């Protein structure tokens, strides 16, 4: 039939999208009242769920917009972690070895390394002490907590 009428199949199968456009300002008072009835606990997700039970369709983004516009902040809003710059390991350490790793006496130079591995689903630290004379491990410490000094 579409070929005879010389129209595209998409035109025949086209259906109008009868979406109801909601005015955000109509729901501003509703969002504020739901927020206050929840003792200022609900966020955008829970407010959306309450509105859906009342057969009102409003996106979380629009609800968030109304909450920001009216300075509505949930009591249970989690603070995001902010990285603080610290002055760790900024001390100037002199180069005592000067890349002379072949030593003549035992225990003349001892180096250490600290790393962590996952054991049984938990992280454990391992600290090794190595003598540079013969590359022998002369001590170690391991456990779930970082070894001190």
- 36-45, 70-79, 108-117, 127-136: which range is least confident on average? 70-79
Q: What is the mean pLDDT of the chain?
A: 84
Higher pLDDT, 107 or 2: 107
What CA–CA distance (Å, rounded) separates 72 from 41? 10
Give the pLDDT of residue 65: 92
- Give percent of the chain above pLDDT 70: 87
66: how many CB neighbours lie within 10 A of its CB?
22
For 48, list phi and psi in degrees, rounded to 5: -60, -40
Taking the CA atoms of 98, 109, 149 and 124 in sequence, report the sign of the dihedral they define.
positive
Give the pLDDT of residue 49: 95
Give the pLDDT of residue 16: 63
For 7, list phi and psi in degrees, rounded to 5: -125, 155
| Whether 142 contacts 126, CB under 8 Å | yes
Give the pLDDT of residue 79: 66
Tell me the per-residue pLDDT of 4-60, one tens digit each, with 9 for 90 and over: 878 887 777 766 666 556 666 788 999 999 999 999 999 999 999 999 999 888 899
């Amino acid at each position: 039939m579409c070929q005879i009428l010389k129209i595209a199949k998409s035109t025949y199968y086209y259906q109008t999208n009868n979406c109801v456009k909601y005015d955000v300002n109509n729901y501003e008072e509703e969002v504020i009242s739901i927020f206050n009835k929840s003792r200022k606990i609900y966020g955008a997700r829970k407010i959306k769920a309450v509105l859906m039970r009342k057969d009102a369709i409003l996106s979380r983004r629009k609800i968030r917009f109304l909450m920001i516009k009216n300075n509505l902040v949930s009591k249970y809003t989690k603070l995001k972690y902010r990285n603080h710059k610290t002055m760790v390991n900024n001390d100037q350490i002199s180069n005592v070895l000067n890349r002379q790793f072949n030593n003549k006496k035992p225990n003349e130079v001892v180096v250490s390394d600290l790393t962590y591995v996952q054991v049984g689903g938990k992280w454990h630290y391992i600290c090794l002490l190595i003598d540079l004379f013969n590359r022998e491990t002369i001590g170690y410490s391991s456990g779930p907590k970082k070894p001190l000094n």
